[in-house]
Structure 1
Amino acid sequence: MSVIYVLLAISILVAVIFFIAFIVSVKSGQYDDSYTPSVRMLFEDELVKTPKTSAKEFTKKKIQLNKQV
């Protein structure tokens, strides 16, 4: 039974150490994103959804293109 208490204490100690390491790394800027702002201007355009054309409109456009050629 005393082994459980020892293992519990060790696991809590390890969890606290990892939590402190995480807080230190966040405060030091380890997780700051320095790459995305430099390429954000390349991906700023939003996708434009085109209206769906029906089968009749598609064949009309196809016939018009064939007449032009």
Structure 2
Amino acid sequence: MSVILVLIITSIVVAIVFLGAFFWAVKSGQYDDTYSPSVRMLFEEKGKKKVNHE
């Protein structure tokens, strides 16, 4: 019974830590960019080379 209690408390602490990290990321502006993902596919990546298939 004490093992179940320890697991429940540990899982609640981990959930609170992840929730706090999520709110910190939202508050710091991590998810503010809504424009560039929609146009990213229109531009070529600089690291890729064009392959001539002959």
Structure 2-normalised TM-score? 0.62
Q: CA separation in 2, counterparts of 1:25 and 1:10?
A: 23
Deviations 1:5-54 (A, max 9, x none): 000000000000000000000000001115158x5xxxxxxxxxxxxxxx
Deviating beyond 2 angstroms after TM superposition, the runs of 4 or more aligned structure 1 residues are: none
* Aligned-CA RMSD value: 1.7
Q: CA separation in 1, counterparts of 2:37 and 2:13?
A: 36
Question: In terms of Rg, which structure is larger?
Answer: 1
Bigger helix share: 1
- Percent sequence identity over matched residues? 58
Gaps of 5+ in 1: 40-69
1:2 alignment counterpart: 2
Q: How many residues align?
A: 38
The aligned amino acid for 2:22 is: F
2:14 alignment counterpart: 14
Structure 1-normalised TM-score? 0.49
Q: CA separation in 1, counterparts of 2:22 and 2:13?
A: 14
